Structure 1
Amino acid sequence: MFVLELSYTAPLDAVDAVLEEHVAWLDALYGQGVFLASGRKEPRDGGVIIAVAEDRARIEEITAGDPFVRAGVCAYRVTEFVATKTAPELDRYRETLS
């Protein structure tokens, strides 16, 4: 599982100019089962996404396709973690340590 932290690198008006494309990108990845939760940070200087994928390389590919990244308005920090405990609704994502 991955925590994707977005930090805006441009003024909010530049971010807002590509927000609609970013939301469509999010919706597509929710539809594929990659994204589990997302939202903006407070104060509004970026966002956070919880994601699942087979490996970090896939996540790097996904984040590179974000319209925010393509427009140069955000940077990602990717943290991979092993979800050994989850809410019952997330049981299928639970992992064991090797």
Structure 2
Amino acid sequence: MISTYLVPLDEVAKVRDEHLAFLEGLFAQGTLVAAGRQDPPVGGMVLLDVAYEAAAREVISRDPYLVRGIAEYEARGWNPTVGALKDYGKS
């Protein structure tokens, strides 16, 4: 999921702790692989371990950034073929 901020960074900062707690919860559940802010900080990227786009959209629908109108998300599928994640989830 690729997010784009809809508000200035000072407004993003007011909700960031809630957003990060949400992501930590996803990581603890095994749904989140990695997440981070884009550089420059115009949004972020959230790599989810889900089988379908609909599942990714359902998971991200609970993100405080989305719930509070701070950011919007675009879904992108990805299958790593080279690098540290190429065998992720294959066992």
TM-score, normalised via structure 1 length: 0.81
Name the counterpart of 1:93: 89
1:77 to partner: Cα distance: 0.8
Structure 1 unmatched ranges of 5 or more: none
Q: Rg larger in 1 or in 2? A: 1
1:72 to partner: Cα distance: 0.2
Name the counterpart of 2:75: 78
Task: Note the aligned Cα RMSD (angstroms).
Answer: 1.7
Q: How many residues align?
A: 90
Amino acid at match of 2:16: L
Name the counterpart of 2:63: 66
Amino acid at match of 2:64: P
1:19 to partner: Cα distance: 0.5
Give the one of 25, 31, 35 matched to 1:28: 25
SS in structure 2 at match of 1:62:
helix
Structure 2 unmatched ranges of 5 or more: none
SS in structure 1 at match of 2:34:
strand
Percent identity of paired positions between Structure 1 and Structure 2:
29
- Pair 1:89–1:73, CA change in 2 (3 A): closer
Runs of 4+ in 1 over 4 A off after TM superposition: none
Amino acid at match of 1:47: G
Structure (1/2) with the larger strand percentage? 1
